[in-house]
Amino acid sequence: MSRYLAMARRQMRDLGWARAAGDFASELLFDVWYGIETWRPRGFWDRKIEGGVWEDLVQYQGANPRIVRKVLGSVDWDPGEAAFVDYGCGKGRVLVLAAEAGFRRLVGLEYVPEVAAICRMNLARAEPWMRRATVAIQQVDAADYVLPSGAVVAFLYNPFRGQTLRRVVERLRGHARKHPLLVAYVNPLGLAEFTVAGFQVVGRWECRGRLEAVTLRVRDGESLANSAPVGMGSLGPGGSG
Ligand SMILES: C[S@@+](CC[C@H](N)C(=O)[O-])C[C@H]1O[C@@H](n2cnc3c(N)ncnc32)[C@H](O)[C@@H]1O
């Protein structure tokens, strides 16, 4: 309980109480609207000692719909043409938001079996509002996931760090050599792993001087596949605040 209170305090400090309270209210409303449960955080601190994936894993907490809608709204690719992959999809909130934004091929990767089960249940409940999107929830270590060929929007809400993050960045870098790839990273605490690997920030969102989210692509000239796919425009500049 004290960890959750500490998380709430951190939100207040980073966003200011008015926005933190507004964000919390919007998360509850989101759940009520779709008839799902995504608002409650879930920690796995006791599993850390097991090492491996558990050591790198960040607890479940859903990304706020406000920032996710802003980030997805900045993507001017045709969402019907790109696969959307949520790395660490938790209870599925971002997959619902991606369907709302028009993405039709959705993949959610979740390591923790009980969280993946909640995600499947939530998506079954939200199905009438998912605009005929197809969703595949895979209960796997995201670092082992092989991306489908073609254009991909890869979403991360600070899901993991360390070796797991490095392995995922490597895979994404490999995908970008052959296919168009855009990375949307909310609370980008591991941003340096991406920039070191040759990604550049193409959109950024800040709140009270704190970086809330970025979009990334492989640096120009490093990948032929990095240009927008046929039928898709380029990425618009990211707003702030
Ligand atoms: C901060 S939550 C984000 C949830 C979701 N993207 C959202 O914003 O609603 C991070 C999630 O990533 C999952 N996760 C962490 N490491 C993982 C891994 N290696 N493979 C798959 N899922 C992982 C956690 O279990 C947790 O549910």
Single-letter residue type at 125: R
Would residue 41 count as lying in a domain? no
Most ligand 1 atoms within 8 A of CB, residue of 4, 34, 46, 57 to mutate: 57
Would residue 238 count as lying in a domain? no
Domains identified in the chain, total number: 1
- The pLDDT assigned to 20 comes to 85
Residue-number span of the structural domain to which 185 is assigned = 55-226
3-state class (DSSP) for residue 127 = helix
Q: Ligand 1 pocket, 65 CB below 6 A?
A: no
Would residue 144 count as lying in a domain? yes
φ and ψ at 190, to 5 degrees?
-105, 30
Residue 57 contacts residue 169 (beta carbons within 8 Å): no
Would residue 232 count as lying in a domain? no
Q: Ligand 1 pocket, 68 CB below 6 A?
A: no
Tell me the average confidence (pLDDT) per consecutive run of 10 residues in the chain, 241 residues long.
73 80 92 97 83 91 96 92 97 98 97 97 95 94 97 98 97 96 98 97 94 91 52 37 33
Would residue 7 count as lying in a domain? no
- The pLDDT assigned to 100 comes to 96
Residue 79 contacts residue 148 (beta carbons within 8 Å): no
Would residue 216 count as lying in a domain? yes
- The pLDDT assigned to 237 comes to 32
Tell which residue, 119, 5, 15, 112, has the closest CA to residue 59.
Answer: 112
Closest protein CA for atom 15 of ligand 1: 57
- The pLDDT assigned to 131 comes to 82
Closest protein CA for atom 14 of ligand 1: 88
- The pLDDT assigned to 46 comes to 79
Would residue 77 count as lying in a domain? yes
Q: How much distance in Å is there from the Cα of 221 to the middle of ligand 1?
A: 32
Domain containing 110 — which CATH number?
3.40.50.150
- The pLDDT assigned to 222 comes to 57
Question: Alpha carbon of 218 to those of 180, 198, 203, 215, 228: distances in Å?
Answer: 9, 6, 13, 11, 12
3-state class (DSSP) for residue 1 = coil
Q: Ligand 1 pocket, 232 CB below 6 A?
A: no
